Structure 1
């Protein structure tokens, strides 16, 4: 039995329902994959890809959903309700998902990080330093930078452009706090001397 003007197709059998389901699954996956996307996408493509997933679809889907509600009040209310409910649940769940994505990307890259650290500490990883004393390069598919005078501190760059800096830092420098003070980490702890950092115009987040 086909749909008629008096009996329109149910909302869950429309392209809008498929678009909503695809975007909801996609944004969860994109949040988990965001660190890997930033690290592996060429140039400034990473933020563009993430913006295309996180920023563009919600208003488009909202307009589409409310238009469906106006044209089909009987079942059209489901689409905006599902969209708003998902967004309401996604906002508090974003940070845990992102933290899980950071952890996944770190664990995937960790063998390369440890190999690069071993090479910097042994003096086998050499290069030409910039004006600030940093030697930058890429090894095993990982971008890194370090100062020869501090081989136990290695910065693994995931993304660095437009005032945004994201990455992992290895720092095995001993920290002995004076009385009344405490050591301050360079970012969110991952494991041992590894920390994760996200800085926007040098403001740590």
Structure 2
């Protein structure tokens, strides 16, 4: 009985305290920003995370991929609606009309019409972001060429140069857009 209690205490310490503390400490040393959630601050205030999508409803910013869960970071998930779902067809058509009404052209990239499996993907393909250039340029009063250069500067390569395709983090792009817009307004005044 005493041996069993000692073993319980030993393995509780090793697996419940020592190992988690070791992993936590290593993560904090090796990946300090990522281990803290890759939070993004502006003027000392946390505005989001590089790892999670958020809603950009204002027409003066690039939009993230639609989210079936309303960008709720407490859980992730998809709508689980299939190709025969009338509800999904209606949502996709509403999203398509939204982009067309804002000055977009056909075809609208699928990433702007369908939500992702997690509902929290922070990236879009380069093509889906470039599709939004005329819409954002019109509202912001920034040239399409300048927005194109901004996008090119924000492109992230595939993971380790091997996995996936080039992509753009929408939060980072919108923060750069905000900076460019503020600088242009300061120069005008």
TM-score (norm 1): 0.27
Q: Which has the larger radius of gyration?
A: 1
More strand by share: 1
Q: Which protein has greater RCO, CA pairs closer than 8 Å, 6+ apart?
A: 2
